[in-house]
A and B are shown apart, each in its own frame.
Chain A
């Protein structure tokens, strides 16, 4: 019964979305206030209806209702409660429902918090948002309905893919979707602005918080996925340039570019049509990502639905939205007149360079991702494009970007002097080079990647600090500290995010360059040396988990005779799906992780063991968290709250009249 209610709510939400997509749009065109006002209650009704549908599906999973097809395919009574709930979105249909729910949440928050938007713009934004909703709810209802029942329910389910039964992966998709779908807001604003034919500083200010929020979620989502791969897949890799990873990385790259170009729109009223184009493309890449994951055209580790019919449907959605948006862009973008003027060397130009590099980097990832498909269709060549290509073709752009970043950040708007900017960063450059030299001297004869990473990371982190210091001007220390504390949050956010990127870049280089690896067989009780550590395989036991059986080893790492860590690497077999997984034993540390993996028992009774020291591993995700924190700081900047306040004043003024 409850499941049917959910199904019914979803159908109702489809109807509401149809109304929200059409009525306010006509209203905005004809200037009929009543028709425009439909958007707001419709958006709120829609979020409630989809919320009911989502709750109903969650209920079916939690109570293990095996008359529902989706629950049978993805759940089991023995599964821990966390994964029963996470199982709702650990599959194609359920994840789509989550996608649509987040879409409607964004729509409703635009309706609730968008009080200061001009009524026509608001009506159009909500209408475009609903169009996306219509497309995806239709996709669900017609090709991937999560509420289908079975005629003869089985006694128990087939369990969730064991790889997905992990806390990291339970929360990876929601964050990623919050990011993907958040970019739909930027898209809706872009389309609405094109219809209105007006993009100004105020528009830039309205779009930025939404883009920023989406970017924060996307950053956290990607970092979570990468962290999961690190501890779960059993060899400590963290990024594989897999098509699905690329699918989340491309919107991040374009979203980052959009974030920076919208600053130029907001502050200087330039780069307008480019920003609109980026907003369209950012969401376009989210859709392409959805297409790549769901259609199975490109095989990847994560793809969970390989169905041509669904692929065609998503391709149609992609075609309609991108075709429509780009056509609109081509016809209307000339109406957007740029105002701000600036010199060749200026903050504006630096941001143009940032956008250029990010866009080209994204283009490289895109070409590499679809190339196997193109080569097979065009020349019947079956080939692979893997990590070596991306490392070679993508990294240079990012390195140049990192080199330019601190410099661009200190250049003033309108007109700048390169020499002056460089001079203020000279101490930072010297410090970064010194640290790189130190790293080179210490490491003796390893790859040059480590020192390069040290230079880049230090350049970014100290460059960000220098940027803040420069903003405090001259005078006594007390005066400067006072000014530092009063700097806008956006400035703090910018420096924090830039420093976070520096930390992540350094960690990527360090992990690639300085990892220690060891592969051997060890008898129980045996020890071996791993870098400065003495690793001992203390014992191996069979342990029963809630829905798996595990071979669990106890291993210790000692340094100078003192045990510094005891970890329990496991090898699990999940009974229902008969699938093995490895759970590495990791001792997390500030400067290094000790990463131990237990393998098979050998004929002589000893065990295969893989062990690693991963230097600065936590800095990788720490850097991403710092980046997201920077985004949050920027999001809390006063100017967005002031905008909210002015609305209240306006409302009072109207009431007083």
Chain B
């Protein structure tokens, strides 16, 4: 499973270079183009490592960009266009994970940790405040004698 994937990757990486978004892809309508650019930045190039299709040089990324623009020109809303691509390529294509199912854990992990940490920190801070400064230990007999000696001299 893994070996062919890497072979494919190697093939794509050695393909002739192209720029990310090509001049011929750009839509005539600036508003539509802006939407396409915005959406592309949230879609993953499937054969690259952690690159979005807007930045990627790969052929597949270009195909996805063209597909996305096609859907937008056809009158899809942003959600419909993205859903169209997710239907075909799976959840993996979304760089911004959904909040469905177990992904809620991912999204809530930070805030939950913050609340837990705040609670812990408050308990700690209260404790540092409530305890009184410990009194220095009583002098031992030897120390008392020495103190007397010093005071007398």
Could you tell me which A residues sit within 8 Å of B by CB distance? 233-235, 237, 240, 242-243, 270, 299-301, 303, 338, 340-344, 348-349, 352-353, 356-357, 359-361, 363-364, 367-368, 371, 375, 378-379, 381-389, 392-394, 397, 519-521, 571, 573, 578-580, 582, 597, 599-600, 602, 608, 610
B91-A383 in contact (CB<8A): yes
Consensus secondary structure, chain A interface: mixed
B60 at the interface (CB under 8 A from A): no
Q: Which residues of chain B are near A579, meaning CB under 8 Å? A: 13-14
B26-A519 in contact (CB<8A): yes
In whole angstroms, how far apart are the Cα atoms of A129 and B42 in the complex? 44
In whole angstroms, how far apart are the Cα atoms of A176 and B108 in the complex? 31
Q: Which residues of chain A are near B51, meaning CB under 8 Å? A: 240, 301
A342-B128 in contact (CB<8A): yes
Nearest-CB distance from B91 to chain A (Å)? 5
B94 at the interface (CB under 8 A from A): yes
Q: A379-B102, A397-B110 are in contact. Are A519 and B23 (CB under 8 A)?
A: yes
Known: A235-B55, A361-B110, A384-B50. 15 other contacts (CB 8 A): A240-B51, A242-B50, A341-B128, A343-B129, A353-B121, A363-B110, A371-B97, A378-B102, A381-B101, A381-B102, A384-B97, A388-B42, A580-B16, A600-B18, A610-B20
From B22, B23, B52, B109, give the contact of A363 (CB < 8 A).
B109
Name the residue of chain B whose CB is nearest to the CB of A240: B50
Q: A300-B49, A341-B131 are in contact. Are A383 and B19 (CB under 8 A)?
A: no
B109-A367 in contact (CB<8A): yes
Q: Which residues of chain B are near A349, meaning CB under 8 Å? A: 125
Name the residue of chain B whose CB is nearest to the CB of A340: B128
B49-A393 in contact (CB<8A): no
From B42, B50, B118, give the contact of A243 (CB < 8 A).
B50
Could you tell me which B residues sit within 8 Å of A by CB distance? 13-14, 16-24, 26, 41-42, 44, 49-52, 55, 90-98, 101-103, 106-107, 109-110, 113-114, 117-118, 121, 124-126, 128-129, 131-133
Nearest-CB distance from B21 to chain A (Å)? 6
Q: Which residues of chain A are near B92, meaning CB under 8 Å? A: 382-384
Q: A237-B55, A599-B18, A608-B23 are in contact. Are A397 and B114 (CB under 8 A)?
A: yes
Nearest-CB distance from B49 to chain A (Å)? 5
In whole angstroms, how far apart are the Cα atoms of A357 and B113 in the complex? 10
Q: Which residues of chain B are near A343, meaning CB under 8 Å? A: 129
A597-B91 in contact (CB<8A): no
Q: A389-B95, A578-B14 are in contact. Are A341 and B129 (CB under 8 A)?
A: yes
Name the residue of chain A whose CB is nearest to the CB of B126: A344
Nearest-CB distance from A447 to chain B (Å)? 11
From A270, A301, A519, give the contact of B21 (CB < 8 A).
A519
In whole angstroms, how far apart are the Cα atoms of A356 and B111 in the complex? 12
From B18, B103, B109, B128, give the contact of A383 (CB < 8 A).
B103
5 CB contacts below 8 A, A to B, read: A240-B50, A301-B49, A381-B91, A521-B23, A578-B14
Q: Which residues of chain A are near B41, meaning CB under 8 Å? A: 387-388
In whole angstroms, how far apart are the Cα atoms of A26 and B41 in the complex? 57
Name the residue of chain A whose CB is nearest to the CB of B52: A386
In whole angstroms, how far apart are the Cα atoms of A237 and B16 in the complex? 22
Q: Which residues of chain B are near A384, meaning CB under 8 Å? A: 44, 50, 91-95, 97
From A357, A367, A600, give the contact of B17 (CB < 8 A).
A600
In whole angstroms, how far apart are the Cα atoms of A61 and B98 in the complex? 48
Nearest-CB distance from A444 to chain B (Å)? 17
Q: A235-B20, A397-B114 are in contact. Are A344 and B96 (CB under 8 A)?
A: no
In whole angstroms, how far apart are the Cα atoms of A359 and B52 in the complex? 28
Nearest-CB distance from B105 to chain A (Å)? 8
A352-B125 in contact (CB<8A): yes
Name the residue of chain A whose CB is nearest to the CB of B132: A341
A299-B19 in contact (CB<8A): no
In whole angstroms, how far apart are the Cα atoms of A457 and B61 in the complex? 36
